[in-house]
Amino acid sequence: MNFHRAPHVFVGKVNLKVENLERSLAFYQQIIGFKLLGRKENKALLTADGRTALLSIEQPENVTAKQPRTTGLYHFALLLPTRSDLGSILQHLLNSGYPLQGASDHLVSEALYLADPDGNGIEIYRDRPSSTWEWNDSEVVMATKPLDAKAILAEGNGKPWTGLPSATLMGHIHLHVSELGQTENFYRNGLGFEVVSNYHNQALFISTGRYHHHIGLNVWNGIGAPSPLESSVGLESFTLVFPVEEAREQAINQLREIGAAVSKENQDFITKDPSGNIIRLVL
């Protein structure tokens, strides 16, 4: 199943603030394998298929280094089409010498973890077929087990790495938040997501259409963690893509009913979760 198209609501694009645009462009093109879609002054759009922007990177004026122990980005996650694609990029990363931070088998998926030069977290993963996912009623079974890297490299079969496959998607985003109660209310009763996993009351995984998660939310930076300074490197915002105008209007009405502010900017509507993470509601 494709959980990143209508009728589902999913993350479309992540917008990052970086300290040095040239350094970040080199990393995202040479190490991650994005293509440049467009650039103006201090901002660049990056794509996998040459048409759709998945990532925006911007160097704000008076930018400051990433602040620790704040809300914001834990990681954004690029979803590859196949396991052999994961093997190909793993071999490329090993050849490049760029440090990995981790590699895990989550039962529903297999994932690699690293960070960009500013410390923004990145996951690169492939999904196992959804028919193989296990569910306990409304909760999907996930775990963190060692990744079988040898098998994944073998499946890559020495296929030359030519950058991200054109069918790469923004699979999900995982956020640091300051608490989980109001946060769940915002995403569930406001935006219409369902909780599909509660990890020891420290993290929630939420989705539409019974995906294993379109958004992760954790309190690992501490209950009451503050929002970063506006000038700080990190997450500027991310987009949620709605299938039709009626679905977006329903979410906007629900957000306002629970007391969340929603404003309009050009054709997009913008809201903030209780931890200050900015979300752009797009069609």
Yes or no: say if 106 and 144 are a contact pair by the CB < 8 Å rule: yes
Q: Tell me, what's the pLDDT at 158?
A: 76
Distance CA 161, CA 1 (A): 26
Where are the extended beta strands (E) located within the chain?
A: 10-17, 35-40, 43-47, 53-58, 72-80, 102-105, 109-115, 121-127, 135-136, 139-140, 145-146, 169-176, 194-199, 203-207, 215-218, 234-241, 262-265, 268-272, 278-282
Token pair belonging to 37: 């879609």
208-220, pLDDT tens digit by residue? 999 999 999 999 9
Token pair belonging to 158: 């020495």
Q: Tell me, what's the pLDDT at 184?
A: 98
- The segments of the chain whose pLDDT lies below 50 read none
Q: Tell me, what's the pLDDT at 203?
A: 98
Q: Which domains does the chain have, with CATH numbers?
A: 10-281 (3.10.180.10)
Report DSSP state, residue 162.
-
Half-sphere exposure of 2 toward its Cβ, with a 13 Å CA cutoff?
Answer: 10
Three-state secondary structure call for residue 18? coil
Q: Tell me, what's the pLDDT at 1?
A: 72
140-196, pLDDT tens digit by residue? 999 999 999 999 999 988 778 999 999 999 999 999 999 999 999 999 999 999 999
Token pair belonging to 23: 């350094």
Q: Strand pairing partners for 125?
A: 79, 111
Q: Tell me, what's the pLDDT at 154?
A: 96
pTM attached to this predicted model: 0.98
Yes or no: say if 208 and 192 are a contact pair by the CB < 8 Å rule: yes
Distance CA 109, CA 81 (A): 12
Of 78, 60, 189, the closest CA to residue 126 belongs to 78
DSSP, residue by residue, 220-255: TT-TTPPPPPTTBSEEEEEEEE-SSHHHHHHHHHHH
Q: Tell me, what's the pLDDT at 131?
A: 97
Q: Tell me, what's the pLDDT at 30?
A: 98
